[in-house]
Amino acid sequence: MFKRYIKPIVLRAITVAAAGALTLVWNPANAQWYAGASLGQSKMKDASSQLVGTSFEDTDTAFKVYGGYQFHRNVGVEFGYINFGTFKGSGSIGGTALSDNWKANGINVSAVGTWPLTNEFSLLGKLGLTRWSVDDKFSTTLTGPGSAKENGINLSYGIGAQYAFAKQWAGRAEYEVFTKVGKENTTGKSDIDVLSIGVVYKF
């Protein structure tokens, strides 16, 4: 249900970003580099159908580090690394023990649209691409251990809010969706949702 409201907001973010880019008269005084780090929770949406097992741990701790360039008050670009954590499957079927450990991370680039509501508080919208990597290690007592590794590039998007609590420091909260991480025929494939909070330092 929540995702139904995110996509229109993200599309609005990109529309504003595009409009800002078209009308932008670049002013060095408005340009700013920044860096940040965030910690939160990730959720593998399709763990029950993509992992080996009968019970599943479909959430884990996620963290990311990122940097960006705000070249206009409404428009910026951001690069980052995210570790989604490890998602697990376990259980047994007919006396055959099952286990699965599915790890993923990614490198991301996104366009960022910013709407300042006050001097301190802003809303964010993001749309980008993530180059993900998945390392899947699985085992059954019938077939023994196995593994698969895959990587690829897919869409990511998100919304967030940022509050500047000092001249160069801000707190940030975000909800992001990383789509189609993994390959269905080898590692398994799923969207991954990430809810995070972090801090940003403006240079």
**Token pair of 131, please?**
């180059």
pLDDT range class, residue 179, cuts 50, 70, 90: very high
* Separation between Cα atoms, residue 130 and residue 176, nearest integer Å: 12
Q: What is the pTM of this model?
A: 0.86
Burial of 144 (0-12, 13-18, 19+ CB in 10 A): exposed
pLDDT at 8 over 90: no
CA distances from 159 to 29, 86, 119, 144, 201 (A): 26, 24, 19, 43, 19
Burial of 115 (0-12, 13-18, 19+ CB in 10 A): middle
**Token pair of 22, please?**
């078209």
Burial of 49 (0-12, 13-18, 19+ CB in 10 A): exposed
Cβ atoms of residues 177 and 155 within 8 Å: no
pLDDT range class, residue 134, cuts 50, 70, 90: very high
Pairing of strands 144-164, 169-183: antiparallel
**For 28-65, what is each residue's pLDDT tens digit?**
666 799 999 999 999 999 999 999 999 999 999 999 99
Q: List the one residue out of 167, 138, 134, 170 whose CA is nearest residue 152.
A: 134
Average pLDDT over residues 120-124: 97
pLDDT at 85 over 90: yes
Q: How far is CA 191 from the centre of its chain?
A: 10
Q: List the one residue out of 179, 3, 21, 190 whose CA is nearest residue 102.
A: 190
